[in-house]
A and B are shown apart, each in its own frame.
Chain A
Amino acid sequence: MSYAVIIRTISIVALLLAVTFPLFDSALAHAQSGDTTGKDVLPAISIGPDQDRDFEKRAQSLEKQLICPICPGETLDQSFVQISQDMKRILREKLQEGQDEGQIKEFFAARYGTSVLAAPPRTGFNLVTWIVPPIGIALGVVGLFFVMRQMRRGSVNPVAAGVGGMISDDSVYGELDDYLAEVDRDLATDDSLDGDQCDDNDRSSEA
């Protein structure tokens, strides 16, 4: 039994699995026919005022920034329990009154604790949450730059350059490719002759 057969089998099974499930999600909808003739369209009532789409959008955005106090890690827009519905109502009332996001969030934080906010406030100790990633990334960029410079410092061995360049992009020799690469490395550590024998420009050798 070879690598090839095993990998093929596993992959095909995975393919079948991946293909069959998610695309059928609509099929799970329990379709039933109903009476669709001539009903009057009556105005519907929503939890918040629905006439103003922009207002609703602001309210929904705020919902995503608050956590339901009794649910494990769910934001208000994910949660349907009573306390969440109440909070949604309250925040819409406050928005109507003209309060802004910051004030509303402060209100809830005062009532339920800081953990009701979906992201830590950018004040005091919690500022650390926001600062560490950019600093880390910046340090990483600096580090990356130095690493790359360090890697450049090794001398470009022309034999390696010339000999190595002859392996074309396509893996013609299959398994032997790796051994050829090793041969080239062994040769490169001798200080043999120079000469960039082959044109290693990928773009032209790529058939």
Chain B
Amino acid sequence: MADLGTMSMLLALALATYAGVGSVAGVKLGSGDLVMSARRSAYVAGLALTVAVGALVYAFVTHDFSIEYVRGHSDRAQSQAFTWVAMYAGNEGSLLYITAIFTLMSMVAIYVTPRRLEPSRPYIIAILMGISVFFLTVLVTLADPFAPALFDDGRGIGVNPLLRHPGMFIHPPLQMAGLVGVAIPFAFVGGAMISGQTRDQWLDAARVSAIAVWATLSAGLLIGAWWAYTILGWGGYWSWDPIENVAIMPWLVLTAFIHSVMVQKRRGMFRMWNIALLSMAFVLSQFGMFINRGGPVVSVHSFGASTIGSVFLGFMLFSLLFALVVFLWRYPMLRSDRPLESFLSREASFLVNNFLFLGVTFVTLWGVLFPLFSEFANNETVTVSAPWYNQINGPILLAIVILMGVGPLLPWRRTTLTSAQRWLSIPIGISLATMALLWISGVHELWAIVGFGALAMVMSAVLEEWYRGTMAQRRAGLNFAVGWWRMVSGNRPRHGGYIVHIAIIALGIGIIGTNFFQQRADVVLAPGESFSLDEYRVEYINTENEQREDRISEWANVNVYKDNKQIASLAPWRAFYPVFNMASVRASVHNVPLVDIPGLPSYLDPGLEDLYLVPSEFLEDGRVVLRISINPAAWWLWVSGPIFVIGTMIALWPAPLLERRTVPARTRSLSMPQAGSSVGV
């Protein structure tokens, strides 16, 4: 199997090189056959990489410990299901996965390149294949997943205990696919710039691929947060860890791009800026790879192999240089067509949106780099962690939320102050009312109140837009539901975007709830003892344990009561892995519903708060050290996921083309009665 794997990687390397070089050579030489052949080569490179991945997975599933990577990341005791995903656990295997998924995504991108971008396609292929070639070269020379084992005793070491969780099936593939996929919109733009198609031919391809990649990244980040919530056991989900940060930075820049590209589409403005954004996102994703694989920053996530790190740093710098050169070369052709007519317009609000998102990106980048800077300049090691990020990024994120409530209500081009006041009065009013209500009902946490107020404004802005839109449809005699759907179908990117905003509201509610109102207690309980936190009483019954080949698991049987009525029986557990000298915990999370919808299982009811239990230690005398947390609104964090997906799907759903729609009779035929043929639209 190792041989097959190595052969496939080498084959893929050769094919990708040919694809990239051949595409450009074909254009220069005027040979359509060469261009065609090069394109096919790109497709087959994907096939070869799939074979390589298949070989690695096969090796894992059949416990082929003659391969060092398999030996280092699996063992016989591992459950069969996990052998299928163990390949992402380490540096080499995850790099192979990244290369494979990237090449597959490139295949799709190349295949669906719109007709109008045809002249740029060879250059798009060249860029995409160039990236694949880089990854493959690293794989073949520095990070070979198929390297033979140093010694084969027929047993493996096993996978890091923290990775033995269902999240392992989804988070790494999605996250890595999203991060590396950032290159695809960049390739569309880059290819178009090189071939001279500097009009907006690349716009739709870049926009659609950017949204798809953005959705993948969002899903990856959210599921990663959920995974941390259940397996790391401290009840948190985001710690501004360097690896988390480098994953969110491209996401932030892509979010900025998704918004400002709408201005380019509608008004022909911001062209240069959008290209800069895509380049920034791409460079940041390469920066992420550098930090992740042997970058100099300490993190719970890093794979940590230092020679590879400098190679990725080099590639990142090369990407930056490439983007700059191409951009400066085509700069004169990229002027904006229209001026900004007013500070009070949707275009202006998108500019502010971009500014704020880039602000968060800049702050995050500074936070990641400062410890290095401090060591270098001041010879002192400092840590920059959650408290710093919360204090600095917090206000900017709040500003973004407020903008979300204002921006959609501003019309394009310009509006008067009185008009703006009229549109904004309801959302602002609702926001103030919400804040007042919260204050009256006893909530005195200032930031939380402002946060909720901002979220209320966003919700009312969306509802106001939908109300007016639906009412207009109603004039045609439709009922609310149909009218709303008609309105949404009529402008999918916009209304899909509003649904995504609603997902952000849910996320915001969860963040504010868990951040400001968490209650926690670490207690030692003997069997039979209880502890009361707020309205909940946690009663510890006993501990059971189980010994397996690779671990010793213990779990604490616990009953939870609310107002003296039992609401749950939980068993949070902890497993110790002697080989790794590590423990991993699995929290028990009980969703206390806001309203109990009959027929729905408890985890689907809208959540009021989570009751969260984690055992930190099992003492010899049968007592347990238990962490009990009440995490208000945590459910809303996770429900934002499906809402995100629905919104993105609607936004991306292609609208029917002109040909298939009926156009009003006036324009169907020409102004000459004699002209017989219709335009056919």
Contact = CB atoms under 8 A, between A and B. Distances in A.
- Whether A and B touch (Cβ < 8 Å) is answered with yes
Interface of A: 1-4, 6-8, 10-12, 14-15, 17-19, 21-36, 39-48, 50, 56, 60, 64-65, 67, 72-75, 77-80, 113-120, 125-126, 128-130, 132-134, 136-137, 140-141, 144, 147-148, 151-157, 160, 164, 167, 169-176, 178, 181-182, 185, 188, 200-203, 206-207
Given A148-B340, A156-B341, A206-B469, A34 B388 contact: no
Nearest to B472: A207
A8 B653 contact: yes
Interface stretch (B13-21, B25-33, B151-159, B565-573): B565-573
Nearest to A152: B340
Contacts of B572: 29
B655 A1 contact: no
B68 interface: no
Contacts of A151: 269, 336, 339-340
B167 interface: yes
A170 B343 CA distance: 24
Interface residues of B, number: 137
Contacts of B658: 173-176
Interface of B: 108, 111-112, 114, 166-167, 170, 174, 199-200, 203-204, 208, 212, 215-216, 219, 222-223, 226, 229-230, 232-234, 236, 239, 241-242, 265-269, 298-300, 336-343, 348, 351-352, 355, 358-359, 362-363, 366-367, 370, 374, 377-378, 380-388, 391-392, 396, 411-413, 419, 423, 468-469, 472-473, 490-491, 520-526, 528-531, 537, 539, 541-542, 555, 557-559, 566, 568-573, 586, 588-591, 601-604, 616-617, 625, 638-639, 641-642, 644-646, 648-649, 652-658, 661
Contact of A32 (B170, B472, B473, B569): B569
Contacts of B601: 27
A191 B343 CA distance: 26
Nearest to A78: B234
A17 B112 contact: no
Contacts of B649: 8, 11-12, 15
Given A2-B112, A25-B230, A27-B603, A132 B383 contact: no
A15 B642 contact: yes
B385 A67 contact: yes
Contacts of A172: 661
Contact of B385 (A29, A119, A153): A119
A154 B339 contact: yes
A40 B645 contact: no
B384 A22 contact: no
A164 B242 CA distance: 46
B413 A200 contact: yes
24 contacts: A1-B111, A3-B654, A11-B649, A18-B642, A29-B570, A29-B589, A32-B571, A40-B528, A50-B521, A50-B523, A72-B300, A73-B242, A73-B299, A119-B383, A119-B387, A120-B374, A136-B363, A137-B396, A148-B340, A152-B341, A153-B339, A154-B338, A157-B338, A182-B199
Given A29-B589, A117-B383, A181-B268, 14 more contacts: A4-B654, A15-B645, A18-B219, A19-B641, A34-B541, A46-B521, A116-B383, A118-B386, A119-B387, A152-B340, A164-B338, A173-B658, A174-B655, A202-B412
Nearest to A88: B522
A145 to B, nearest CB: 9
A47 B469 contact: no
Given A29-B589, A78-B239, A132-B366, A18 B644 contact: yes
A39 to B, nearest CB: 5
Contacts of A113: 381
B607 to A, nearest CB: 9
Given A19-B645, A120-B374, A174-B656, A46 B203 contact: no
Which 7 pairs of residues, A with B, have the shortest CB-CB distance? A154-B339, A151-B340, A22-B638, A202-B411, A119-B388, A34-B541, A26-B603
A88 B522 CA distance: 11
A34 B527 CA distance: 12
A171 B655 contact: yes
Given A72-B299, A120-B384, A136-B362, A125 B411 contact: no
Contact of B539 (A6, A39, A48, A128): A39
Contacts of A160: 337-338
Contact of A17 (B219, B236, B380): B219
Given A14-B216, A116-B383, A33 B392 contact: no
B223 A22 contact: yes
B326 to A, nearest CB: 22
Contacts of B268: 181, 185
Contact of B236 (A10, A78, A114, A169): A78
B392 A133 contact: yes
A14 B241 contact: no
